[in-house]
Amino acid sequence: MYFLEILCLIISGTVCFYFYLIRNHKHWIKRGVPGPKAKFVIGNLPSLLTQKRNVVYDMEELYDKWKNYANFVGFFNMMQPQILLLKPDLIKMVTVKNFQNFHDNGFAEMFNKDSDPVFTKTIFMLRGTDWKENRQELAPAFTDSKMKSLIVLIEEVSKRLVKHLDENVSSSEKPHVLEARTLCTRYSIDVVGNCVFRVDGRAFREEKSEMMKMGEETMNPSGSFLISFLLMQFFPILKRILRPRFIKASIATYLTGLIGEFVKKRQENPTDGGEFMSFMEHLRINRGTSSAQILGHVFTFFIDGYEMSSNVMAHTLYQLARNPDIQEKLREEVQSLESFECIASPSNEKYWRM
């Protein structure tokens, strides 16, 4: 008797759990939105679970399959219904013309302000009024004049890059291969260190500099974080319990140390560059911006400058290698410039605006 009751409970629980997992599968069908049928549990992005390849390739397959049939397509990120825009005009409408209606980031819902005080303060994770106010607060840090002032600092790092290539390639008798992604990462780390904190990131001096380790640790979350993230995808209510932390305390401490080091150097030499951190000091002193928010802004710039820039540069090198004719045109364009300094001249404004 008890066996049958337990068996019935197990079967009932399994059936209920199954219907819970597929509860959203008709979400887009009911709304008349075209799209692929969701696979059980994994939705339409299997790479999120299998980790066999980057999830970008799943998105690319969706795009290639539907781009000629619809303006947008409904798909499932595990159990969450989402939309992929397929037409440039529609993308522009969402990201530019009507951006005020789309600036919230659903990813931000996964994180708690108390458990991850730094990451939730970054511009990526802010929502609504907070996002708008912080965007306005940060905008003056990215004016043309401030960006232009960074060119001389970028040149310093470029010279380190050339020296690194000379030492590892030109001087070698045998063919020497450098991994482009790693090379771009080293360059980006040193640019961030020099332009933001006015320190040497030592990416070209050491195999794994401290700043490189921090960058890699940030972009390679722990297994426990990934498990928590997956569980919250299946059971959103767990967001209130698990409270995963994307930025480890050690990374926050490291960035805080860099900020303190910059402030100390700035007091000793007020003219020693560092436009971005000088602007952060201005916000703290004149606008009362909290230390936590300053740290969030710094981390935003760190991720933008390190991860995103290195990815773009590495992909650019890859595309140039695949298209030697375009590579040759680029070489001719660069060789037509008289010097690095001329990029910053008013006549070549197009370069530093890029």
pLDDT in tens, 177-224: 788 999 999 999 999 999 888 888 999 999 889 999 888 888 877 778
Q: What pLDDT, in 10s, does the model give residues 3-36?
A: 788 888 888 888 888 888 888 889 999 999 999 9
* CATH number of 137-322, picked from 1.10.630.10, 3.40.1230.10, 1.10.540.10, 2.40.160.50: 1.10.630.10
pTM to 2 decimals? Answer: 0.79
Cα gap 131→48, rounded to integer Å: 28
Specify whether the CB–CB gap between 36 and 52 falls below 8 A. Answer: no
- State the residue for tokens 């990451």: 119
Q: What pLDDT, in 10s, does the model give residues 40-62?
A: 888 899 988 887 888 889 999 99
Cα gap 9→6, rounded to integer Å: 5
Return the structure tokens found at 256: 């805080």
Cα gap 279→149, rounded to integer Å: 13
Beta bridge partners of 81: 76
Query: Nearest CA to 184 among 166, 222, 218, 157?
Result: 157
Cα gap 229→235, rounded to integer Å: 10
- In the DSSP assignment, the letter for residue 41 is T
Q: What angle do CA 328, 305, 133 make, to 5 degrees?
A: 130
Distances (CA, A) of 112 to 1, 135, 295, 343, 350: 47, 20, 16, 44, 42
Residue 71 has pLDDT above 60, yes or no: yes
Return the structure tokens found at 67: 């781009």
Q: Is 37 in a helix, a strand, or coil?
A: coil
Q: What pLDDT, in 10s, does the model give residues 216-250?
A: 888 877 778 778 877 887 777 777 788 788 888 88
Instruction: Kindly state the average pLDDT of the residues 118-134.
Output: 83
Q: Cβ–Cβ contacts within 10 Å for residue 154, how many?
A: 17
Q: Which amino acid is at 340?
A: F
Burial 88-110 (b: 16+ CB within 10 A, else e): eeeeeeeeeeeeeeeeeeeebeb
Give the residue range(s) of CATH 1.10.630.10 domains in the chain: 137-322
- In the DSSP assignment, the letter for residue 119 is G
**Which residues touch 77 (CB under 8 Å, ≥6 apart)?**
43, 44, 45, 48, 233
Return the structure tokens found at 59: 């998105």
Question: 214, exposed or middle or buried, with CB in 10 Å at 0-12, 13-18, 19+?
Answer: buried
Return the structure tokens found at 327: 């590579």
